[in-house]
Structure 1
């Protein structure tokens, strides 16, 4: 299992375009990938699940990958998020 915690930097949060592109990035991997925000966890490969979270700017989220390509999945998703300026990675115990 791979897990990372992020602070959302994008002015629009993780909504519409960032959410869609994040889901598309997650769909490239066989591993189960989840997104947790405010105590609720959804499948990161589901646009409806991600959009249902309503993740605003300056919030904290966790992404977890579990499966045969979990390291590659986490690395690819982190690369996408950072390259788009959507998030910054933080320590797992950060608020």
Structure 2
């Protein structure tokens, strides 16, 4: 199990389009992927739960990945956040 954090650095935060891109990444993996603030974690494969997080720019989110492909899942999720969800600034 991997328990780490990711920072929301894109201008609009974890809005609908960014959440959709995150879902595209997380649903490719067999691992259980959870994201949230502190102890409140949600399923990172659930679009409605992601939208309800209300994670704006500057938010630090806890990311917990557990499963057979956890390392690859973590790498791709971190890359997506680092690339600002491929949005123009």
- Could you tell me the TM-score, scaled by structure 2's length? 0.86
- Where does the alignment leave 5 or more consecutive residues of structure 1 unmatched? 87-95
1:46-66 Cα shifts (integer Å, max 9, x gaps): 001101111111111011110
- The count of corresponding residues between Structure 1 and Structure 2 is 85
**Contact kept? 2:4, 2:62, Cα under 8 Å:** yes
**3-state DSSP class of the match of 1:76?**
helix
- Distance in 1 of aligned mates of 2:28 and 2:51: 19
**Contact kept? 2:2, 2:70, Cα under 8 Å:** yes
**3-state DSSP class of the match of 2:25?**
helix
- Distance in 2 of aligned mates of 1:58 and 1:19: 16
- Distance in 2 of aligned mates of 1:80 and 1:7: 11
- Where does the alignment leave 5 or more consecutive residues of structure 2 unmatched? none
- Write 1 or 2 for the structure with the bigger share of helix: 2
